[in-house]
Structures are given as structure tokens and as C-alpha cells.
Structure 1
Amino acid sequence: MSRSPRRIRAVIDADHVGRLESLADAADAGLPEVAEPLLAKLAAAKVVPARQMPAEVVTIGTALTYRNDVTGREQDVTLAWPEDADISQGAISVLTPIGVALLGLPVGTSVGWTTRTGQKGALTVLRLGLPLAAA
């Protein structure tokens, strides 16, 4: 890893904010390691109307490739709502540590994240594909 990940201001679709807050609030008792970072991300995010979402930013339904900056492994995934998540199909829930880390990131951004077991990691968004709705 050539540079350390930094905190960046996520860009979030205004149409998703209410549902994301509700999911985080509901998960707070059982999954505080996910709920707290999601709520913190939402509180610090730049919220924009759907029509103004930058095309290069990860949002719900976005297919993307990211690199695990610790292992160097690249992975193709789609960020999904919890009920649409299916890891065998590469659809990861926004209510997972990696889903929270990816949400709102632009292509080329590196960010640190923490697993449910407390391990520190870092990832870089390499490229985006078509959103699920457009695929």
C-alpha cells in the first residue's frame, strides 16, 4: 500500500438517506459495528438529489471492482440493500462493514475499514459497472 487511506466525504443519494438511517437504527442493537459507522457516514456525507449523483460514485445497485489494499486482491461486487444481498452472486449488503466502507465513494478513492472482528483493512474503488437497475 503506497499511501495510507484517508477519510473522504461520501456522496449519498438523497432518495436513500431515510432508508439507510432506518436500517442503521434497526441494526444498532445487534450490529453496532456496522450501524455506528453507517450513521457516522450519513451524518458527514454530502447528500445530493438522485439526478445530481455523480456517475463515478458508489451507490446502492452499483456494480464495481475494488482492490483489497492489504492483500492486493481485486473483487467484483454490487452494493445492495440487505434483502437483495447474495454473496454467492457478488451482491453485498450495505449493512456489512465493507458495504458501509464502499457506500458513497468515488472511483479512485482509498479508504480504511474495520471488519466485524476488529481487523483493520483498506480498499480502493477501481472502477464502476452498470447499476443493477440499468443492467
Structure 2
Amino acid sequence: MTKPEIILTQRDLDAIEMGLIDATLTPEFIDALETELARAKIVKPADLPDDCVALNQQVTFRVVETDKVFTRTLVVPGKARSADDNLSVFAPLGAALIGLKVGQSIQWQTNRGLQTVEVLGVAAGGDQQMDNAG
């Protein structure tokens, strides 16, 4: 499967990179996430498409292998207001979703093996509009 284009804001990229410093992740996971971040197109927040998954956004996605649909808010650990519906960008599915657009899918290594995740929808979360300058 060809990897889809991913788009990130510089603010999200910075937040993820800062979070990696404190995170206790496997070297394999860090390598996979850094590979994804390195191929991302970086844009200003105002230029991020509305249908693109970003931090602090609610994303609805489907795990193709199980056909299960989930709606979660993508966060950097420690920055979340509540843990009820959050998905860490440092979790396998969170790392797979960041930067994808609605309709795109990607195969990603998870705790259950290689899985395909498809983005069904995105909605702005509480902090998404915090900083439009950077």
C-alpha cells in the first residue's frame, strides 16, 4: 500500500517532537513516527485543510480489519483536559492518523499487528483554534 500524503502544522510538529523527549516509547515506534513526520508537508495553521487530522481535533476513523468505528480527540499526552475520549498521538493508531485527510487510509503497525486505518471525519476540538499565528 502506498503511503498517503500527510499534512501537519509546524505547531503540531513541534508539539509532537517536544512530547517525544519525555515519552517512553520503543525505538521502533519512534523510528516509524519520525519517518512519517519527515515526509509530512508542513503548512501554517490557516493553510491546513479542514478535513485534515491535527492535534486537538476530534477524528472519526475505522479500523478496516475489524470494521469498528471510533471517534477520539487526538492529543499529546499531558496536554489533554480529560481522558475519556482521547487518543494519544504516541499510540499506534494516533500516530497513524496524524496528518491524514478524510477518505485517506494508511497501514500501521499496532499491538495487534499491521492494521489499516481510514479517516471518516474530523471536527475541531477545544484547542484547535488557539494559535493561528504559527
Q: Is TM-score (shorter-chain normalized) higher than 0.5?
A: yes
The total of aligned residue pairs comes to: 129
Q: How do 1:50-65 and structure 2 match up within 5 A?
A: 50-65=45-60
Would the aligned equivalents of 1:70 and 1:121 in 2 still touch at CA under 8 Å?
yes
Look up the equivalent residue of 1:62 and give its one-letter code.
Q
TM-score normalized with structure 1 length: 0.83
State how far apart, in whole Å, the 1-side matches of 2:28 and 2:81 are: 20
Deviations 1:14-46 (A, max 9, x none): 12222322333544x742233112211111000
Pick closer, same or farther for the CA change 1:133–1:25 going to 2, 3 Å: closer
State how far apart, in whole Å, the 2-side matches of 1:44 and 1:134 are: 23
Identity percentage of aligned residues = 26
Pick closer, same or farther for the CA change 1:86–1:15 going to 2, 3 Å: closer
Residue 100 of structure 1 deviates from its aligned partner by 0.6
Residue 87 of structure 1 deviates from its aligned partner by 8.8
Structure 1 runs not aligned, ≥5 long: none
Would the aligned equivalents of 2:19 and 2:76 in 1 still touch at CA under 8 Å?
no
Q: What is the RMSD computed on CA atoms of the aligned residues?
A: 2.3
TM-score normalized with structure 2 length: 0.84
Structure 2 runs not aligned, ≥5 long: 130-134
2:67 aligned with 1:110: no
Structure-2 residue corresponding to 1:132: 126
- Indicate the larger mover: 80-89 or 101-110: 80-89
Look up the equivalent residue of 2:121 and give its one-letter code.
R
2:9 aligned with 1:13: yes
Q: How do 1:79-94 and structure 2 match up within 5 A?
A: 79-84=74-79, 89-94=84-89
Which of the pair has the greater relative contact order for Cα pairs under 8 Å at 6+ separation? 2
State how far apart, in whole Å, the 1-side matches of 2:119 and 2:100 are: 7
Give secondary structure in 2 for the equivalent of 1:82: coil
Deviations 1:62-110 (A, max 9, x none): 1011011001010111101111458951201111111110000000001
Residue 129 of structure 1 deviates from its aligned partner by 2.1
